[in-house]
């Protein structure tokens, strides 16, 4: 099929909600993708931070194929050893007590919102159901997670949204002002991804932890983008030296299969009891088989150290580029602000030159697969430098 034929089929049959790059991809290996014409691309995007082990890691592909040929789905009416193994690994790597499996980031956050509201009602009193989130945050596209998202442009057209959310600036004074006698939780990303790769201040995160404990409200960290090794630790709160009460995860968790997770610390492990929540597909055996390979790999002694070193290498090389005015982020979650040109146009040019790259607000956003090789990194960085150098001053 030619690119034009694919594009036409898309336009005829798919709701026009996505603005896509003019490329149709058909295969990939590691951090290199191939399009319908056989042209290759270096991948600094991993989908959107999803393919943590890159395209078609042999061990991952074999485990997923084996599970697909053994037992693909059973529902949550029965026990699944693949699901329980994935849960055990995830609890161990996160330091959390229990997990609920969903299928996406938004669903993981829906579970966190339900857990917080039930916690508030059960243990703090009737009406303790409101949640404070941060301005410029992103928590998903369902009606409730849109309400949690502290960016007005996402709210347009979809009123009435779920009530019970208010938005604070990323500092303790503003959070304190937003917290009322109805608040049950504060939810935040430690590095705002869609908001432009904006890391939270370390002192603020520690103060917030202490404040939530003191007020008996939940500290809920949305690790959907920052999680699963992305920032050089399994979850980004491990970089910040805090332990949240609730953690949500999705994107990189199963390296390309739909799996979300809402984890919680021991005191909250039984807040959501029988019949209060569920998911038809949640914790699907094939997705869990993929996640098991991801977690096995990330638990290897050098893996996360290697992510941190590669992250430093990327950050250094980006900062050296004349076309880049500043770099922010952590590990392999980086934002590079171009000195000139619009990020959208730069990303389009990068794709034309064989580099898949993301944008978020005013930055070029890099979320390469955690297994990106030095050679692929250098190739992709060379393409980016060349594109930035050819921009009109």
Ligand X SMILES: *Cc1c(COP(=O)(O)O)cnc(C)c1O
Which positions lie near ligand X, rule CB under 6 A? 104-106, 109, 138-140, 189, 193-194, 222, 224-225, 250-251
**Vertex 207 angle, CA 204 and 208, to 5°:** 85
**Which residue lies nearer to ligand X by CB, 112 or 383?**
112
Which two structure tokens, joined as six digits, stand for 306?
Answer: 């290697």
SS3 68: helix
Which two structure tokens, joined as six digits, stand for 241?
Answer: 């030296």
Q: Are 92 and 238 in contact (CB under 8 A)?
A: no
Residue 96 Cα distances to 100, 104, 116, angstroms? 12, 19, 16
Closest approach, Cβ 90 to ligand X, in A, equals: 17
Q: Is 225 annotated as a binding residue?
A: yes
Residue 45 neighbours by CB distance under 10 Å: 24
**Which residue lies nearer to ligand X by CB, 32 or 236?**
236
Closest approach, Cβ 105 to ligand X, in A, equals: 2
φ, ψ at 372 (rounded to 5°): -50, 135
Q: Of 368, 234, 367, whose CA–CA distance to 298 is shortest?
A: 234
Q: Is 141 annotated as a binding residue?
A: yes
Closest approach, Cβ 319 to ligand X, in A, equals: 24
**Which residue lies nearer to ligand X by CB, 58 or 278?**
278
**Which residue lies nearer to ligand X by CB, 136 or 225?**
225
Q: Is 183 annotated as a binding residue?
A: no
Closest approach, Cβ 106 to ligand X, in A, equals: 3
Residue 18 per-residue DSSP state: -
Residue 126 CA to residue 121 CA, distance in Å, equals 5
Kindly give the interhelix angle for 285-298 and 303-320, rounded to the nearest 10 degrees: 80
**Which residue lies nearer to ligand X by CB, 119 or 154?**
154
Closest approach, Cβ 126 to ligand X, in A, equals: 29
Q: Is 319 annotated as a binding residue?
A: no
Q: Is 122 annotated as a binding residue?
A: no
Q: Of 347, 354, 353, whose CA–CA distance to 41 is shortest?
A: 354
Closest approach, Cβ 53 to ligand X, in A, equals: 18
Q: Is 105 annotated as a binding residue?
A: yes
**Which residue lies nearer to ligand X by CB, 32 or 51?**
51
Q: How many residues does the chain have?
A: 393
Q: Is 144 annotated as a binding residue?
A: no
Closest approach, Cβ 277 to ligand X, in A, equals: 17
Residue 392 neighbours by CB distance under 10 Å: 5
Closest approach, Cβ 338 to ligand X, in A, equals: 22
Listed in sequence order, the residues at least 6 apart from 253 whose beta carbon sits closer than 8 Å to its beta carbon are 52, 227, 228, 259, 260, 261, 291, 294
Q: Is 223 annotated as a binding residue?
A: yes
Burial class (CB in 10 A: 0-12, 13-18, 19+), 281: middle
The continuous run of DSSP H or E covering 34 comes out as strand 32-35
**Which residue lies nearer to ligand X by CB, 138 or 268?**
138
**Which residue lies nearer to ligand X by CB, 76 or 142?**
142
Q: Which residue is nearest to ligand X (CB)?
A: 105
Residues at the binding site are 105-106, 138, 141, 222-225, 279-280
Residues at the binding site for pyridoxal 5'-phosphate are 105-106, 138, 222-225, 280
Residues at the binding site for N(2)-acetyl-L-ornithine are 141, 279
């Amino acid at each position: 099929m030619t690119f034009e034929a694919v594009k036409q089929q898309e336009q005829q049959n798919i709701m026009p909600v996505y603005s896509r790059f003019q490329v149709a991809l058909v295969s990939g290996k590691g951090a290199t993708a191939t399009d319908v014409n056989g042209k290759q691309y270096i991948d600094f995007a991993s989908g959107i931070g999803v393919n943590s082990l890159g395209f078609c890691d042999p061990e991952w592909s074999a485990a997923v194929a084996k599970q697909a040929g053994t037992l693909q789905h059973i529902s949550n009416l029965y026990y699944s050893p693949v699901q329980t193994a994935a849960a055990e690994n995830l609890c161990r790597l996160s330091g959390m007590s229990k997990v609920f499996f969903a299928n996406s980031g938004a669903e993981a956050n829906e579970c966190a919102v339900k857990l917080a509201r039930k916690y508030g009602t059960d243990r703090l009193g009737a009406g303790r159901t409101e949640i404070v989130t941060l301005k410029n945050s992103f928590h998903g596209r369902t009606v409730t997670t849109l309400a949690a998202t502290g960016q007005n442009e996402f709210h347009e057209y979809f009123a009435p949204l779920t009530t019970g959310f208010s938005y604070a600036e990323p500092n303790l004074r503003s959070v304190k002002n937003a917290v009322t006698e109805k608040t049950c939780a504060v939810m935040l990303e430690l590095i705002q991804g869609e908001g432009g790769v904006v890391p939270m201040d370390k002192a603020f995160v520690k103060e917030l932890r202490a404040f939530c404990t003191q007020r008996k409200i939940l500290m809920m960290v949305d690790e959907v983008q920052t999680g699963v090794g992305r920032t050089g630790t399994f979850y980004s709160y491990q970089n910040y030296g805090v332990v949240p009460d609730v953690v949500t995860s999705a994107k990189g968790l199963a390296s390309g299969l739909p799996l979300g997770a809402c984890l919680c610390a021991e005191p909250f492990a039984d807040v959501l009891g029988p019949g209060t929540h569920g998911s038809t597909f949640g914790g699907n055996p094939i997705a869990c088989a993929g996640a098991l390979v991801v977690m096995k790999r990330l638990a290897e002694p050098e893996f996360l150290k290697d992510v941190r070193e590669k992250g430093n290498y990327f950050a250094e090389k980006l900062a050296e580029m004349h076309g880049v005015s500043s770099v922010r982020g952590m590990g392999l979650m980086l934002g590079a602000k171009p000195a000139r040109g619009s990020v959208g146009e730069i990303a389009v040019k990068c794709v034309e030159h064989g580099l898949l790259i993301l944008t978020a607000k005013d930055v070029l956003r890099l979320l390469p697969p955690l297994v990106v090789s030095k050679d692929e990194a250098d190739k992709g960085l060379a393409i980016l430098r060349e594109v930035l150098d050819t921009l009109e001053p």
